[in-house]
Structure 1
Amino acid sequence: MAVTDEAIEKIKAMIVSGELSPGDRLPPEKELSERLGLSRNSMREAVKALEVIRVLDVRRGDGTYVTSLEPHLLLEAIAFVVDMHDDDSMLEIFAVRRMLESQATGLAATLGTDEEIAELIQEVDGVDASVGIEELVEHDIRFHREIVAMAGNAYLASLIEHLSSQTVRARVWRGLTQGGAVERTLSEHRAIADAIAQRDSALATSLTTAHIAGVERWLRQAASA
C-alpha cells in the first residue's frame, strides 16, 4: 500500500471508530503524523485527497475539520464522473438510475405523506411544454428529487440525483425539445405523480421504469446517429 493510501486509511479509521466525529477539528499536522507514524508529506497528501472527496474541510488559517459527512457531500464526485462520460457510458449510468429510481418511486407511493404528494402534484401542474430549457431542467430536478425524498433514504436520494446531474439533464431536455418529445415526457411525469397519489406502488414503479427507459432509448439513438 502506498504511503499516502496508508495515511488516508488511518484517518478514515479514526472517523469510523468515532475518535473523530463530524465537525471535529483534526490535531495539528505534526502531532497527527507522529501519532500515526507517518511523514508529514504523506499526511498532507492524504488530507488533500480527503478534502477533494469532501470528507475533510481545510480552513486556511484555522485548521482541518471533518465535514458533516452527509450523503450529498460524499456523493458529489459521482456527478463529476457522470458529466465526463460519453453516450455509451451514459447508457449504463441510466440503467443503474432506472433500477434504483423505479424502486424508490414505488416506496414513495407507499411512504409519501399527503402533503408531499400534494406538493408533487403542484409541481407537475406548474409546468408545460412552452417553458424554456432551463425551466424544464429545474422542473425535472424538483420532480424526481421530491419523489425520491419520499422514500426516506438520504443516501439513495443523493446517489440517484448525482447519477443524473444538472448538466446531463440539460443535455437530455435539449434533445427532447429538438425531437418534439417534451409533451410526452411531461405527460409521463403526470402519470407517475397520479400513480403515487393513488398509492399504487406497482404502477408507479412500472411507469418510472418506462419513463427512464425512454430517455435511454433517446440516448441510444443519439449515440448511433
Structure 2
Amino acid sequence: MTAVPRPARPSRAVEAQEGVKDLIVRRGLVAGDPLPTESELMEELQVSRNSVREALKALQAVGIVDIRHGFGMFVGRMSLSGLVDELAFHSRITLQNGMNHLVHLIEIREILESGLVERLIELGREVDLKAVADVIARMEAEAQAGMVSPETDRLFHDLLYRPLGNPLVSQLLGAFWDVYHQLRDRLGEPDEPPGDVVKRHRDIYTAVLAGDRDAAVAAVHAHFEGVRNRVARIHG
C-alpha cells in the first residue's frame, strides 16, 4: 500500500504569524493599539526571537502590524499598498508581453462604480453632494487652463461615494487608482480633450443628483470608455 505523504508542517515563523493574529483577536485589539514586546511574544507563543522577528516583518508587510522604531509595535491600520504594488508589477509585466492585465483591472473598477452609483441613488435625494459640485467647478477651471489634474479626478470619485459610509470603497478605488498612476509612464498623456473629461464626470454627478439610475450607470460606462481607449493605445 502506497503511503500517503503527510502535509508539510508550517514553519515556526508562520506559526508565530498566526499566533500574533490570534492574540490580536483574542484581546480585542484594534488599529493603533499597542502590541506586546518581542520578549513577551516569545514567551506567550513559545517561539524563538528570530521566528518572532520574521513573523512581525511579514505581518508588517501586509499592514497587520505597525512597527515604529523607538516607540514600539502596534496593530496596523488597514492598507492596500501591498496589493497595489503587486497589481502594478504584474500589470507592467503583461504590458511588456503583449497582454493587458490593466484592462481587466479597469473592467473591475467599472463594474464596482456602476454598482456604487446605484447604491448612492438608493439613499435618496437627501444625499449631500455639494462637495462633488465644488470639485466639478475645480475641474472646469483646470480644463480651461489646459488639463484636469489626476488629483482632482481622484477627488471626484472619492467624494462622490463618501455618503455611502463605507471606508473600504475609498480604499479599493484608491488602490485601483494607485496602480493606474504607477503605470502612467507607459500610458502617456490622456488623449481626451479636458472639456470632455469634465463632461463625463458632470454627467455622472447630474444623473445621481436626479436619481436617474439608468443615466448614472450609462455615464459611468461612458467615463470608463475614455480610460479604456487610453490603455488600448499601447497596443494599437
TM-score with structure 2 setting the length: 0.80
Which of 153, 175, 178 lines up with 2:189 in the alignment?
175
Distance in 1 of aligned mates of 2:115 and 2:33: 36
TM superposition shift of 1:11 = 1.1
- Would you say the 8 A contact 2:125–2:209 is kept in 1? no
TM superposition shift of 1:148 = 2.1
- Would you say the 8 A contact 1:78–1:163 is kept in 2? no
Does residue 216 (structure 1) correspond to residue 221 (structure 2)? The answer is no
Which of 74, 80, 85 lines up with 1:75 in the alignment?
80
What corresponds to 1:116 in structure 2? Answer: 128
SS of structure 2 residue aligned to 1:25: coil
Distance in 1 of aligned mates of 2:29 and 2:139: 46
Distance 1:19 1:145, change over 3 A: closer
SS of structure 1 residue aligned to 2:31: coil
Which of 111, 126, 137 lines up with 1:99 in the alignment?
111
What corresponds to 1:125 in structure 2? Answer: 137
What corresponds to 2:16 in structure 1? Answer: 7
- Would you say the 8 A contact 1:91–1:216 is kept in 2? yes
Which of 24, 29, 35 lines up with 1:20 in the alignment?
29
- The one-letter code of the counterpart of 2:30 is S
Distance 1:18 1:214, change over 3 A: farther
Residues 56-90 of structure 1 show CA distances to partners (whole Å, capped at 9, x for unaligned) of 221223321113x3xxx422323323433224111
Show the 5 A alignment for 1:18-167.
18-67=27-76, 69=77, 73-84=78-89, 85-86=91-92, 87=95, 88-111=100-123, 114=126, 116-128=128-140, 129-131=143-145, 136-165=149-178, 167=181
Distance 1:180 1:156, change over 3 A: closer
- Would you say the 8 A contact 2:35–2:75 is kept in 1? yes
Question: After the TM superposition, which of the residue ranges 186-195 and 118-127 deviates more from structure 2?
Answer: 118-127
Distance in 2 of aligned mates of 1:161 and 1:60: 28
Distance 1:174 1:123, change over 3 A: farther
Q: What's the RMSD between the two structures over aligned residues?
A: 2.6
TM-score with structure 1 setting the length: 0.83
Question: After the TM superposition, which of the residue ranges 211-220 and 79-88 deviates more from structure 2?
Answer: 79-88
Distance 1:120 1:21, change over 3 A: closer
Distance in 2 of aligned mates of 1:53 and 1:38: 21
Residues 97-130 of structure 1 show CA distances to partners (whole Å, capped at 9, x for unaligned) of 1111111122223337757312212211222323
Q: Give 5+ residue unaligned stretches, structure 2.
A: 1-9
Distance 1:49 1:160, change over 3 A: same
Q: Give 5+ residue unaligned stretches, structure 1.
A: none
- Would you say the 8 A contact 1:112–1:151 is kept in 2? no
* Length, aligned pairs only: 217
TM superposition shift of 1:147 = 1.4
TM superposition shift of 1:36 = 1.0
- Would you say the 8 A contact 1:137–1:169 is kept in 2? no
- Would you say the 8 A contact 1:108–1:148 is kept in 2? yes
What corresponds to 1:185 in structure 2? Answer: 197
Percent identity of paired positions between Structure 1 and Structure 2: 26
Residues 158-197 of structure 1 show CA distances to partners (whole Å, capped at 9, x for unaligned) of 1122111272585699532xx2433222211110010011
**Higher gyration radius (CA):** 2
TM superposition shift of 1:143 = 0.6
